[in-house]
Amino acid sequence: MRIFITGSAGFIGSALTLKLLSNKNNIILGIDNHNDYYSPKLKEDRVKRCLIYKNYEHQKIDLENSKAINELFKKFKPDYVINLAAQAGVRYSIENPMLYINSNIVGFVNLLEACKKYKVKHFVYASSSSVYGANGLMPFSVHQNVDHPISLYAATKKSNETISHSYSHLFNLPCTGLRFFTVYGPWGRPDMALFKFTKSILAGEEIEIYNNGHHQRGFTYIDDIVDGIIKVMNSPASKNTKWNCNKPDPGSSLAPWRLYNIGSDTPIELMDYIGHLERALGKKAKKKFSPLQLGDVPKTYANIDDLVKDHKFMLTTDIKDGIENFVNWYLDYYKNV
């Protein structure tokens, strides 16, 4: 099986690549632009774990480079494409909007064009729980309307879902979007709360807790996410033959196009999350409470019934164990801390 993975130096992308490489029948081409949104060294070190496999090739390429993308597809001829590359970060999108348009929309269309041209069997891409935006009905369901994003990042992810549907409808291209819910674990992103909190607590520095500590999240361990992506990839999106144009379901279509939430269906209070981290570190945090940030959502957790039913998705990692695994990795990786 020939698999093309974008964002393969990223948190989820590198973990997925590593898992898929354990099957010698998989030949994987990974691309990433290694930008400096956060430490390029961390990205390089993630990739090093994959480069020891003979069935892996890695390229530094921007998704916006349509010519380079087309050449890679022509040479590699992928069966499956998993797009995990994107400019991440809700707050950063407020300051640097064009980065998000170029990477998350222009780059996304370049991939779809290549998938169409080279008749890819299944295009799987990362969406985000942030698309639910101003929706307050919990748990979030793919069958709910998501027309009110409250950040540009969320708007680009919503655009991905809409654009992929048009390609699926016009060209019969199987497309599946996965709305991720607060993924955490070893090799995670330094801009995420768990990483920042760990660094600050160990340094004896204050941690800033937004929304005065009232955030709730469906925190999802990286291994569970990777297992879910692989299950979805291996089962290309199909047409919903019961789809009713008079009562359109936002999560499926008469085209081979699907959306799934992938994450935890049990919300965890942010203060409980911090408590688990304090116990794993053996050290109390100095806390500074701040109001809700612009573009942020106070509560997110997933209805994952469709993913469980269609792909037998399972959550296997307890939040306590997941945080301990992260702390053990962090202390090992940053031995000078």
Residue 221 is a catalytic residue: no
**pLDDT band with cut points at 50, 70 and 90 for residue 86:** confident
Q: Which of 92, 125, 153, 221 is catalytic?
A: 153
Distance (Å, whole) CA 334 – CA 337: 6
Res. 19: pLDDT tops 60: yes
The whole-model pTM stands at: 0.94
**pLDDT band with cut points at 50, 70 and 90 for residue 337:** very low
List the domain boundaries for the chain.
2-333
Mean pLDDT of 73-99: 88
Structure tokens at 90: 């809700």
Distance (Å, whole) CA 103 – CA 101: 6
Q: Are 3 and 27 in contact (CB under 8 A)?
A: yes
Question: What is the pLDDT of the chain when averaged over all its residues?
Answer: 94
Mean pLDDT of 39-62: 96
HSE of 248, CA atoms in CB hemisphere, 13 A: 6
**pLDDT band with cut points at 50, 70 and 90 for residue 88:** confident
pLDDT at res. 147: 93
| CATH top-level class of 2-333 | alpha beta
Chain position carrying tokens 């748990």:
139
HEC string for the chain: CEEEEECCCCHHHHHHHHHHHCCCCCEEEEEECCCCCCCHHHHHHHHHHHHCCCCEEEEECCCCCHHHHHHHHHHHCCCEEEECCCCCCHHHHHHCHHHHHHHHHHHHHHHHHHHHHCCCCEEEEEEEHHHHCCCCCCCECCCCCCCCCCCHHHHHHHHHHHHHHHHHHHHCCCEEEEEECCEECCCCCCCCHHHHHHHHHHHCCEEEEHHHHCCEECCEEHHHHHHHHHHHHCCCCCCCCCCCCCCCCCCCCCCCEEEEEECCCCCEEHHHHHHHHHHHHCCCCEEEECCCCCCCCCEECECCHHHHHHHCCCCCCCHHHHHHHHHHHHHHHCCCC
> Which tens digit of pLDDT belongs to each residue from 152-209?
999 999 999 999 999 999 999 999 999 999 999 999 999 899 999 999 999 999 999 9
